[in-house]
Amino acid sequence: MTALLFMHRDMLRPEFHWSIRARGANRTTKKEFKDALLDARDRFGKLMATAWSNTSKEDLLYGKVLQDILNADRQLYNGKYERTIRSCFDWREITTNTAIEAPRFETHLVDELVMV
């Protein structure tokens, strides 16, 4: 839960930022705090769903994935979270120009789900 609060605090409504930094909801009601967390979860989920739906498995580079996330942020939130998104990748030294290929995993999970 702490990681969620740390990484996505900018996605919460501004009136709750202080509470999150204080690591609790002691300045707000539990319902308001819960609503803010649910809002952050929904925004982040929508952002990631949009980004992944625009990401090709054929050209899966870390920089390209970052670019797809930034594009989704622009599309959904007018780039409101760009700074936060970039900072999550900065400490890993990933930029939109990073040409490192994401690991490819051999999986047959989809085959197992096919009805015979």
Q: What is the pLDDT of residues 59-87, one digit of tens each?
A: 788 899 999 999 999 999 999 999 999 99
Specify burial of residue 7 (Cβ count, 10 A radius: 0-12, 13-18, 19+).
middle
Q: What is the pLDDT of residue 74?
A: 98
Q: What is the pLDDT of residue 28?
A: 65
C-alpha distances in angstroms, 3 versus 53, 94, 106? 25, 20, 29
Q: What is the pLDDT of residue 48?
A: 96
What is the CATH number assigned to the segment(s) 42-101? 1.10.390
Q: Cα–chain-centroid distance for residue 88? A: 9
Q: What is the pLDDT of residue 99?
A: 82
Instruction: Report d(CA 95, CA 65) in Å as an integer.
Output: 10
Instruction: Report d(CA 21, CA 34) in Å as an integer.
Output: 15
List, for the chain, all residue ranges whose pLDDT scores fall below the cut of 70. Answer: 1-28, 102-116
Q: What is the pLDDT of residue 113?
A: 53
Instruction: Please give the single-letter amino acid code of residue 48.
Output: M
Q: Is the pTM of this model over 0.95?
A: no
Beta bridge partners, 53, equal none
Residues in the chain: 116
